[in-house]
Amino acid sequence: MLECRSIVKTYSKGATEEIKVLSNLNLKIDLGEIVALKGSSGTGKTTLLNLISGLDYPSSGDVVFRNKIITNQNTSQLSLFRRNHIGIVFQFFNLINDLTTLENICLPLIIRGQNKSLAMSQGLQLATSFELDSKINHPVQLLSGGEAQRVSVARAMITNPDLILADEPTGNLDSTNANLVIDCLINQCKKNNTSLFLVTHNESILSKFDRVLHLENGTIS
Ligand SMILES: Nc1ncnc2c1ncn2[C@@H]1O[C@H](COP(=O)(O)OP(=O)(O)OP(=O)(O)O)[C@@H](O)[C@H]1O
Ligand SMILES: [Mg+2]
């Protein structure tokens, strides 16, 4: 389903210096597989998710999605690829402040051109399962960090994507809400045969995953 082949990612630091964040990284995730990624701060976890989702390009190596190399696609092809196949939970949410909770959750469906009232009723179901039903008409800038985090997870799930990439989706949640979000995410992935690749520092949720990987020294073990 997803394969990273010999990925290298360097960033330039100043005019002459470069830092190599990922070096010869290989990764395979099967259809429907639920995989966690651990690693210290600054090891390149967010960098890796950005490469898989086509938000950034590797310095060398290929990202392969359903046997198709995506690394050689241009930015508009990649944005279509994300819209059709990927759900992303960003580390810092990236919600649209001027929209309400429900509008943010439904946005990926609206962008796909789905009927608005149908989109809203699907969004309402997800809002309810994340205990956000009392907040659906709130502008998202008035939500707490944990509520905003739940909105960002619901938004990533609403299109039933083939792959969900989640960057520390429980970082702002207490353990009850962390379990609520992770259980809901994993249940939906299992039901739809969606693959999940989730970055976390939360040791208490790791037993829920099929595999736990570790990013260290630019590569995965
Ligand atoms: N656009 C960029 N330009 C230059 N350096 C960058 C850029 N993005 C990230 N880096 C550097 O690359 C390294 C990896 O960053 P990344 O955000 O991927 O780490 P992370 O594992 O997600 O960390 P955290 O757990 O703190 O979120 C860091 O040293 C960071 O400073
Ligand atoms: Mg990060």
Nearest residue (by CA) to ligand 1, atom 1, is 11
Query: What spacing in Å lies between the alpha carbon of 41 and ligand 1's midpoint?
Result: 8
CATH for 2-94+161-220 (3.30.450.20, 3.40.50.300, 3.30.1490.20, 3.20.20.10): 3.40.50.300
Looking at the CA of residue 48, tell me the nearest atom of ligand 1: 18
How many angstroms separate the Cα of 76 from the Cα of each of 55, 91, 143, 163?
11, 23, 32, 19
Q: Domain coordinates of the chain in residue numbers?
A: 2-94+161-220
pTM for the full predicted model: 0.94
176: Cβ contacts below 8 Å, ≥ 6 apart: none
pLDDT in tens, 41-63: 999 999 999 999 999 999 999 99
Looking at the CA of residue 47, tell me the nearest atom of ligand 1: 18
The answer on pLDDT for 172 being more than 90 is no
How far apart CA 154 and CA 131 sit, in angstroms, is: 11
Nearest residue (by CA) to ligand 1, atom 4, is 11
- Write down the pLDDT at residue 73: 95
Mutate to test the pocket of ligand 1, among 8, 18, 25, 43 (most ligand atoms within 8 A of CB): 43
Query: What spacing in Å lies between the alpha carbon of 45 and ligand 1's midpoint?
Result: 8
pLDDT band at 27 (very low <50, low <70, confident <90, very high): very high
Q: What is the DSSP string of 78-113?
A: HHHHHHHHEEEE-TT----TTSBHHHHHHHHHHHTT
pLDDT in tens, 115-168: 999 999 999 999 998 999 999 999 999 999 889 999 999 999 999 999 999 999
